[in-house]
A and B are shown apart, each in its own frame.
Chain A
Amino acid sequence: DIFCIYLFSNGISFSVDSVFFLSCETIRTNKSLPGLRGLRNVENIQYLSKTSKSRNSHKTGNRLVYQNLITNWMDQIVKENPDVVTKVDYGKTYENRTISLLKSERGGSSKKAIWMDCGIHAREWIAPAFCQYFINQLLQTYKTDPKMEQMMKNMDFYVTPVLNVDGYIYSWTDNSTRLWRKNRTPGPEGCECLGTDLNRNFYANWGTVGISFDCCSNIYPGKSAVSEPEAQAVTNFVGKRADEILCFLTIHSYGQLLLIPYGHPNVIAPNENELMEVGLAAAEAIKKVHGKQYTVGTSPDVLYANSGSSRDWARLQGIPFAFTFELRDDGTYGFKLPEDQIQPACEEAYSGALHIITHVHDKEFIKPTGTAATVAATLWTTMMAVFVTSTVIV
Chain B
Amino acid sequence: MRLKIIIVLTILTGITGSPSITIRPEVELVDNKQRISEQNLVTETDEVVEDVMATGELNPNHYPAQRAAKVVQHYINTLYGSPFKVFHLHRVHSGNAEDVADSGRKYQLEISVQEMISNTSGKCSAEVFFSRGDKQHSPQVQVMCEELLKINTTKEEDAFYQHLKKNTSLLSAEYLPDSHGHIEPDMKPLWHLASVASSFIMLNESTQDTLFNMAQVANVTQLATESDQLKFEYLILLHEMVSQEIIRWKLLVSWCPPEGVKVLQMEKLPHCHECEKPPNTN
Contacts and interface: CB of A to CB of B under 8 A. Distances in A.
A271 B26 CA distance: 11
A175 B49 contact: no
A216 B271 contact: yes
B246 A179 contact: yes
A207 to B, nearest CB: 6
Nearest to B2: A390
B244 A59 contact: no
Given A209-B44, A303-B241, A339 B16 contact: no
Interface of A: 2, 40, 56-57, 59-60, 95, 170, 172-173, 175-181, 184, 192-195, 197, 205-210, 212-213, 216-219, 255, 264-271, 293, 295-297, 300-305, 316-318, 320, 330-339, 341, 363-364, 367-368, 372-373, 376, 379-380, 383-384, 386-387, 390-391, 394
B16 A376 contact: yes
Contact of B181 (A177, A318, A338): A338
Interface residues of B, number: 65
A302 B63 CA distance: 5
A176 B275 contact: yes
Interface in B1-46: 1-2, 5-6, 8-9, 12, 16, 19-20, 22, 24-28, 30-31, 34-35, 38, 41, 43-46
Contact of B30 (A176, A219, A268, A318): A268
B35 A316 contact: yes
Interface stretch (B123-131, B171-179, B253-261): B171-179
B278 A300 contact: no
State the main secondary structure of chain B at its contact with A: loop
B182 A383 contact: no
Given A301-B59, A331-B213, A372-B19, A265 B46 contact: no
Interface of B: 1-2, 5-6, 8-9, 12, 16, 19-20, 22, 24-28, 30-31, 34-35, 38, 41, 43-46, 48-49, 52, 59, 61-63, 88-89, 91, 116, 174-175, 177-182, 213, 215-216, 237, 239, 241-246, 271, 273, 275-279, 281-282
B271 A208 contact: no
A367 B278 contact: no
A354 to B, nearest CB: 21
A207 B16 contact: no
Which 4 pairs across A and B sit closest by C-beta, in order of nearness?
A338-B181, A331-B213, A376-B16, A373-B19
Contacts of B175: 175
Contacts of A266: 48
A175 B178 contact: yes
Contact of B276 (A194, A296, A316): A194
